[in-house]
Amino acid sequence: MVAVALTGIANAGCIIVQAWLIAHAVSGVFGSRSTVFAGPLPSLGAYIGVLGAVFTVRAGLSWLSSWLAHRASASVKSQLRTDLMTARLANPRDASTTSSTLIYLATQGLDALDGYFAKYLPQLVMAAFIPLLILAVIVGQDTESAIIIAITLPLIPLFMALIGIATREQVDRRLKYQTRLANHFTDLVTGLPTLQVFGRARGQLTGLKHVEQRSRIETMKTLRLAFLSGGVLELLATLSVALVAVTVGFRVVDGALDLTTALFVLVLAPEAYLPVRMVGVHFHDSADGAAAADSVFRVIEAVEAPPAAPLAPPALMTSEIVFDHVCVHYPGADRPSLEDLSFTMRPGDVLALTGPSGGGKSTALNVLMGFVQPTSGSVRVGGIDLRDLDLAAWRRQIAWVDQNPGMLRGTIGSNVAIGYPQAAQSQLREVLDRAGGQDLALDRPLADDGEGLSAGERRRVALARALLRIELDEAGLLVLDEPTAGLDQATEAQAVAAVRGTGVGAIVISHREALLRLADEMVAVGAHRGLESSTVSSHQEAGNGHRE
């Protein structure tokens, strides 16, 4: 910013020198009726040579300003993308920003910042310096022209502000429709196999065309506003310069103003309006990038700042986990996603969360993982509030199996090895067999997101990965969200035996009888806890009898 400001000031100095040279050269030629005349420079050729040097310096300053602006743009975009992904990784369960929105913001959205840094921002800096310098010079030459410029110049920013309000609203609306189109298209592509199976793929064309048409209409509205506003600012600047020119012309004819001063003022007057006018023109170049940056900032700022000096988490093998009246209420939601959940989990226990779908069981696990902050209540580990812990170190103690486990392109073996990358092939084979994956070859290739695996196979790979973390990476807590869904009875029995054999504490969400019998304690989650109390008690009795 400092460098751009300095180039802007230097450019203003060049403009003033350029106007002085033109005024003296033209008046000298007309006054002497010759290309050789008395004056600061001896001849028209000398003036042209110096003017050429000034033009060269201005071209160099313009290149330098653009180079600095593009470097700044690249730096800021890189930082924003890093911050955006850091925020997403700190809160990967955030449902307010879909993956398609995230992709649009990180690519096309932030790329639009080039217009902001390469055009709008340098012009804004020049608009802050050049008009004032030129006005100060004109005051010393012709006070009447300076007064006209001082009165008419603020009208351009006034109209720019009025246009800017309408432009920002229109650009925000356009961004909303573009995001909606991206989300709609992503949902269609994701669900295309299912739509094709039921013969509904072509039926989605109408909805897609409607969303695309709305996006096109909003884009054309934005372009129309940009062209019209540019014309308004151009007309205003032209009329303002015309006022100066008319008054100067009459005074030259009347003999009240000499030709050299008149030419000097006339050459400088448009340059006083130009930087301010160009700010309005380039504002539209910056609007898309600024709107995308605002959306990026909302994602970044939604992540709660970590404690200044986070504490090391206590060892889970010797620490209790306490949920104390935990409630989670997402902004804009009609009701809490998790309401007044309290329980105490002792070291080494297996605790099952039960309740109806949508009752908040998965939300409770997200709170435990530190992905979601409680709206009220607290979670304590060994007596320390979870908010005060180093969450990265806390998550390293946890082996997690989600409802839809993440998979990367590679092989089954490479995905199991995510749990402990240094594991040997024999260790990978052993944990996969224990998780019920005897029929899964380690070298079996997988496409993006584990394409090629069934739901049950995906969960067996994820469970093997979790077992590897517990045995080789010293994780002390197993967190399971429907780990045996999609498994047959024999494979489920193997998976349950594997969980039981870890010897560490586990928090389980499941509706499967085999896993519920494994629990030392069951906690009902959701609005129907009273209705489930008898079921919970019967499961606990069955579980206790099984362990005896």
Rounded to an integer, the average pLDDT of 260-265 is 90
The model's confidence at residue 95, banded by pLDDT at 50, 70 and 90, is: low
Residues paired with residue 378 on neighbouring β-strands, in sequence order: 324
Tokens of 104: 């649009």
Is pLDDT of 351 > 70? yes
pLDDT, position 323: 93
- Give the confidence band of 428 by pLDDT, cuts at 50, 70, 90: very high
Higher pLDDT, 69 or 56: 56
Distance CA 290, CA 294 (A): 6
Could you give the C-alpha distances from 108 to 77, 183, 276, 517, in angstroms and in order?
A: 11, 14, 28, 51
Average confidence (pLDDT) over 402-429: 91
Average pLDDT in the 5-18 region?
Answer: 87
Ranges of H-type helices in 425-485 = 425-434, 455-472
Which pLDDT score is estimated for 168? 72
- Model confidence pLDDT, tens digit, residues 372-413: 889 899 999 999 999 888 888 888 889 888 888 889 999 999
The whole-chain average pLDDT of the chain stands at 83
How many residues would you count in the chain? Answer: 548
**Structure token pair of residue 389:** 């812990």
Does the structure show a pLDDT above 90 at 91?
no
Rounded to whole angstroms, how far apart are CA atoms 210 and 215?
Answer: 9
pLDDT value for 545: 37
Please state the φ and ψ torsions of residue 351, each to the nearest 5 degrees. Answer: -115, 130
Q: What is the pTM (predicted TM-score) of this model? A: 0.62
Cα dihedral 355, 360, 363, 364 sign: negative
